[in-house]
């Protein structure tokens, strides 16, 4: 399977409470426009400066789900990374994100459930140290001891 195993992220045995990972990105007009196109979320508060100027935000803001997507990025690429199964995520939107803001999305392991190979993570996105989005994630992480690469696992918890 041409190096596919080398692309795998952390296994359950690699995880410990307190482990943390972050990604950071500057939000641009291109992100908002492309996200509007993909999602179809053309709410004018995101793409119409004249409409947005008349709202409580006094200008365009990024889609909350765009900001949330960076939490998925930390989990899917860093901690635990490729191979984990995303089970659930809660999202509390605390403040707007605007073009030019640099967002820092962080995930930290808060609890491990060995019997189910699950990990709970606290997830936050900050802009200039202010929390704009917070929540919790639950993921299932394969055991290194029982991985069977490249054969597919027999049961599909996400089915």
Residue 150 Cβ vs a copy of itself, minimum distance, rounded to whole Å: 3
Give the nearer residue to a copy of itself in terms of CB position, either 7 or 17.
7
Give the nearer residue to a copy of itself in terms of CB position, either 65 or 112.
65
Residue 108 Cβ vs a copy of itself, minimum distance, rounded to whole Å: 18
| Phi and psi torsions of 19, nearest 5° | -60, 140
Residue 4: strand, helix, or coil:
helix
Residue 17 Cβ vs a copy of itself, minimum distance, rounded to whole Å: 23
Give the nearer residue to a copy of itself in terms of CB position, either 17 or 124.
124
Give the nearer residue to a copy of itself in terms of CB position, either 57 or 113.
57
* 86 CB-near residues (< 8 Å, 6+ apart): 72, 75, 76, 137, 139
Q: In what order do the strands lie in the sheet with 102-113?
A: 20-26, 102-113, 118-127, 130-140
Give the nearer residue to a copy of itself in terms of CB position, either 129 or 159.
159
DSSP H or E stretch at residue 21: strand 20-26
Residue 36 Cβ vs a copy of itself, minimum distance, rounded to whole Å: 9
HSE-up (13 A, CA, CB side) for residue 25: 22
Binding site for a copy of itself (CB under 8 A): 1-2, 4, 7, 23, 25, 31, 34-35, 37-46, 48, 50-51, 53-58, 63-66, 68-73, 76-77, 81-83, 85-96, 149-153, 155-159
Residue with the two structure tokens 């299932």: 140
């Amino acid at each position: 399977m041409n190096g596919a195993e080398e692309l795998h992220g952390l296994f359950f045995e690699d995880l410990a409470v307190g482990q943390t990972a972050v990604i950071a990105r500057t939000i641009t007009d291109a992100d908002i426009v492309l996200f509007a196109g993909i999602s179809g979320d053309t709410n004018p508060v995101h793409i119409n400066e004249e409409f947005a100027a008349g709202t409580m935000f006094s200008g365009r803001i990024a889609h909350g789900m765009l900001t949330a997507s960076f939490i998925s990025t930390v989990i899917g690429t860093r901690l635990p990374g490729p191979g984990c199964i995303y089970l659930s995520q809660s999202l509390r939107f605390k403040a707007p994100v605007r073009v030019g803001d640099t967002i820092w999305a962080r995930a930290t392991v808060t609890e491990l459930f060995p019997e189910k190979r699950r990990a709970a993570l606290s997830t936050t996105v900050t802009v200039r140290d202010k929390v704009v989005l917070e929540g919790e994630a639950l993921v299932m992480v394969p055991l290194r001891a029982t991985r069977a690469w490249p054969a597919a696992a027999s049961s599909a918890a996400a089915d």
